[in-house]
Chains A and B, each alone.
Chain A
Amino acid sequence: MSLLEIENLSLAIGATPILKGVELTITPGEVVGLVGESGSGKSMTALTIMRLLPHLARAEGRVTFDGIDILAATEDQMCALRGDDIGMVFQEPMTALNPVKTIGEQVAEGIRWHTKAGRAEAEDRARKILDRVGLPEAKFPLSRYPHELSGGQRQRVVIAIACALKPKLLIADEPTTALDVVLQAQILDLLRDLVRENRMGLLLISHDLAVVTEMADRLTILRHGEVTEAGDTARTLSQQQHPYTRELALASMHVPARPKPHLAGSAKPLLEVEGVGRDYPGRRKSLFRPAQPIRAVDDVSLTIGPAQSVALVGRSGCGKSTLARMILALDKPTAGTIRFRGEAITGKPEQALKPARRDMQVVFQDPYGSFDPRQKVEKLVAEPLHLLEKQPAAAERREMVAHALHEVGLGPRDMEKYPHEFSGGQRQRLSIARAIITRPKLVVADEPVSALDVSIRAQILDLFAELNQKLGIAYLFITHDLTVARAMADEVLVMHEGKIVERGRAADVLDHPRSEAAQALVAAAPDLHRAIARKMQEQG
């Protein structure tokens, strides 16, 4: 008998339909993947099972969990199910824990609530489950607060909360999207083991086809609130009968066509970073001893030639963003020099940096957070124009904005719109338009596609490749995603604990990593081809 059965589920928030006739079943011990792009209704499906929907949402159809009609259950019945029989893990570990309560309190709370156990007993059980998820007592006593833990550790606490009472069903909504690939692999392993140990059903929600393929027995593909295809993971992905499945699979392995790689060679380098370091003041252990500085970037040297595309890869916290900020002259190195077009930019006053800033632009990760919501696109895209020696007149300015928008595939009519009128992918096009309007020689892109859906991501990668070809822009891609590095970079630098530990041609480094850090990254990176092959093999 199935543990969870969703039949003909439809959901609307106000007058907007979100889900249309969704069907899904999970049997005990089974891992079911729910795949779809943002806005496809994956999270809403999960929240319907938990009955934690937003106020105005109305659900119709049938959701049966363990014989209980979820949509008709009372709130008291739901409270008894949540956290006891159904556990849930969320996407954002940094904000999923209450900052003012200890991890012990937060894990024990659900145990006490459901089992009416005393404090000591609940803490004892909390201790056991924390040990199980890989947070041993010696380093992680119950009295730790969330802010004392890293993102991966916090996600382990969230998993401990969800699994403390050995639920029959675990719902994991993008549990690893906010983590780097190495942590992602660890968390997925943990989830897999917990499911096996307790014969839990797992509903794994993800936009990442490779992750789901590695984990799931069956998968359901959702698009615009409708199930387009469902079935056995290996069969569905190897046969790719539905066109949308094929589209997703192709997009997630997309490599833009780049005619010839640019290798750093005879040409004068565009950017030279020499022995750059950056120390941050550390935490003071005692009032009387000076604090040990934390070395975020340690003696890094690199060069980027004109029109060359370089990827800087590494795990989160390895110092890659700090390095990018120094290259952009947004932060001052504590050691070394950075030269752009032969001129040192370190230690220069702001006014003298103007020509450098004009030729060096940036694209950030979050296309939602990097625009002022109250300004029109014309003004937003024209922002870097103040760096020009001669300020363009209004008409000329509009012309330049229109041209930049055209280059990123948007129309001149988009100038009059506000950022919220664009989708995530279009917004990332806007930030690229803003970056190229001054005709820069170098664009630093910090995780430019990691917030985007696979199909949008493929388009944006194509756009980067095209602009590189057409305008001769050099790129520095900062990413923890090796597929981006493989798709876009001529040269790959691997950064680990502030140092560059490996460098070379993209294919060489990614196919034959030599350093330990690079090997860990490559091993942990999800790969759709490999995952499908493994699934097929498992099933014979």
Chain B
Amino acid sequence: MTAYLLKRLIIAALTLVLASMVVFAVMEILPGDPARLMLGLNASADQIEVLRNQMGLNAPLILRYLHWAGGLLSLDFGRSYTYSVPVIDLVRERVAVSLPLALIALALSTLIAIPVGVFSASRQGRAGDTLAMGAAQLGVAVPNFWFALMLIYLFAVWLRLVPAGGFPGWNAGIWVALKSLILPAVALALPQAAILGRVARSALIEVLNEDYIRTARAKGLPYHAVLWRHALRNAMIPVLTILGLQFAFLLAGTIIIENVFYLPGLGRLIFQAITQRDLIVVESIVMLLVAAVIVINLLVDFSYAIVDPRLRGRQ
């Protein structure tokens, strides 16, 4: 067990290091001199050179990478060119919006997908299954921003239950703040739930044909008990795998959804930073997102070991 976890941990750390190198290298290759950008069009070559030295842009590549990576480790991401504040301050504010959003969406998609998968699998080929999987097909096909607009129209404009956009901040009260996250979370979660629901259904159907399901039935357990107690846990492995893989898409989705809902989250920040060529901010947020995806996949690996005892003994 510990060997398995240790190995996963080491792999995750190596992936993170590799990713940081790629991110750094890409930023180096991109055209555009940050010093020139900061000083504007009228700056002289000398001024630019002075600033470049100040910013450490003339140091050798390796040193600059180590300096940057070391900064990341101590949460010192550098200063934003455009906002002239430490990047960490910008990020901290935005994470307070984006992290709850992503987690709510993740939880919501799982909470929708698993029951739908169980429902469909237990009624394989019948009307309920066809209907649920038809809806899932629709969920996969419809882009989340369009879906978001429909949600705004229905719940914010028409029913006036929740705000159409913006974020009042956590100081305005937890419920008020959560209320403005509900629609974006639903818009993010539904396409995920659609994919996950389909995976859960097919995984369950496969498991339900296994011999040990028959053994459990022969013990006298009713069908639904066999489904929840024996089948579901075995079907979790493919579901968890897809959950981990889909998390990256969920994060990408937040960039779009935060723009649709005017949420001051990481997605909007990175979008603005890209248009303003604020490379240091882009770099930091990309690294943060990469770290988030790696951490989630590490958690998925850990949960494999919880679900499947066969993995615990293995190297």
Question: Inside 8 A of A305's CB, which chain B residues have their CB?
Answer: none
Q: Mark A80-93, 1 if CB is under 8 A from B, else 0.
A: 11111001101010
Known: A90-B214, A95-B211, A161-B215. A81 touches B308 (CB 8 A): no
Task: For the complex, give the distance between the alpha carbons of A145 and B310 in Å.
Answer: 8
Q: Is A52 an interface residue (CB 8 A)?
A: yes
Question: 29 pairs across A/B with beta carbons < 8 Å?
Answer: A52-B218, A76-B222, A79-B221, A81-B220, A82-B219, A82-B220, A84-B220, A87-B218, A90-B211, A92-B211, A95-B210, A95-B212, A96-B211, A98-B212, A98-B215, A98-B230, A99-B212, A99-B309, A100-B233, A100-B234, A109-B219, A109-B229, A110-B221, A113-B220, A145-B310, A148-B313, A161-B218, A284-B3, A287-B3
A interface bracket (residues with beta carbon within 8 Å of B): 35 or more
**Could you tell me which residues of chain B, from 138 to 170, have a CB within 8 Å of some CB in chain A?**
none
The chain A residues found within 8 Å of chain B, CB to CB, are 50, 52, 75-76, 79-84, 87-88, 90, 92, 95-102, 106, 109-110, 113-114, 145, 147-148, 158, 161-162, 283-284, 287
Question: Inside 8 A of A52's CB, which chain B residues have their CB?
Answer: 214, 217-218
Residue on A nearest B124 in the bound complex, by CB: A55
Known: A95-B210, A100-B233. A114 touches B308 (CB 8 A): no
Known: A110-B220, A145-B309, A284-B3. A99 touches B234 (CB 8 A): yes
Task: For the complex, give the distance between the alpha carbons of A80 and B221 in Å.
Answer: 9
- B interface residues, how many (CB within 8 angstroms): 24
Q: Is B54 an interface residue (CB 8 A)?
A: no
Question: Inside 8 A of A145's CB, which chain B residues have their CB?
Answer: 309-310
Q: Is B13 an interface residue (CB 8 A)?
A: no
Q: Is B216 an interface residue (CB 8 A)?
A: yes
Task: For the complex, give the distance between the alpha carbons of A287 and B315 in Å.
Answer: 10
Question: Inside 8 A of B234's CB, which chain A residues have their CB?
Answer: 98-100
Task: For the complex, give the distance between the alpha carbons of A53 and B261 in Å.
Answer: 53
Q: Which of A95, A102, A110 is the one whose CB lies under 8 Å from B219? A: A110
The chain B residues found within 8 Å of chain A, CB to CB, are 3, 210-212, 214-222, 225, 229-230, 233-234, 307-310, 313, 315
Task: For the complex, give the distance between the alpha carbons of A100 and B220 in Å.
Answer: 19
B3 & A109 in contact (Cβ 8 Å cutoff): no
Question: Inside 8 A of B211's CB, which chain A residues have their CB?
Answer: 90, 92, 95-96
Nearest Cβ on chain A to B209's Cβ, whole angstroms: 11
A88 & B218 in contact (Cβ 8 Å cutoff): yes
B220 & A80 in contact (Cβ 8 Å cutoff): yes
Q: Which of A82, A106, A114 is the one whose CB lies under 8 Å from B217? A: A82
Going nearest first, the 6 A-B pairs with the smallest beta carbon separation are A83-B220, A110-B219, A83-B219, A82-B220, A95-B211, A88-B218
Nearest Cβ on chain A to B108's Cβ, whole angstroms: 26
Question: Inside 8 A of A100's CB, which chain B residues have their CB?
Answer: 233-234, 307-309
Nearest Cβ on chain A to B12's Cβ, whole angstroms: 18
Residue on B nearest A99 in the bound complex, by CB: B310
A50 & B218 in contact (Cβ 8 Å cutoff): yes
Most-contacted residue by chain B among A81, A92, A98, A102 (CB, 10 A): A98
Residue on A nearest B234 in the bound complex, by CB: A100
Task: For the complex, give the distance between the alpha carbons of A98 and B216 in Å.
Answer: 8
Task: For the complex, give the distance between the alpha carbons of A110 and B229 in Å.
Answer: 12
Task: For the complex, give the distance between the alpha carbons of A95 and B214 in Å.
Answer: 10
Task: For the complex, give the distance between the alpha carbons of A287 and B1 in Å.
Answer: 12
Most-contacted residue by chain A among B214, B233, B309, B313 (CB, 10 A): B309
Nearest Cβ on chain A to B208's Cβ, whole angstroms: 12
A82 & B218 in contact (Cβ 8 Å cutoff): yes
B215 & A158 in contact (Cβ 8 Å cutoff): yes
Task: For the complex, give the distance between the alpha carbons of A97 and B210 in Å.
Answer: 9
Most-contacted residue by chain A among B216, B222, B308 (CB, 10 A): B216
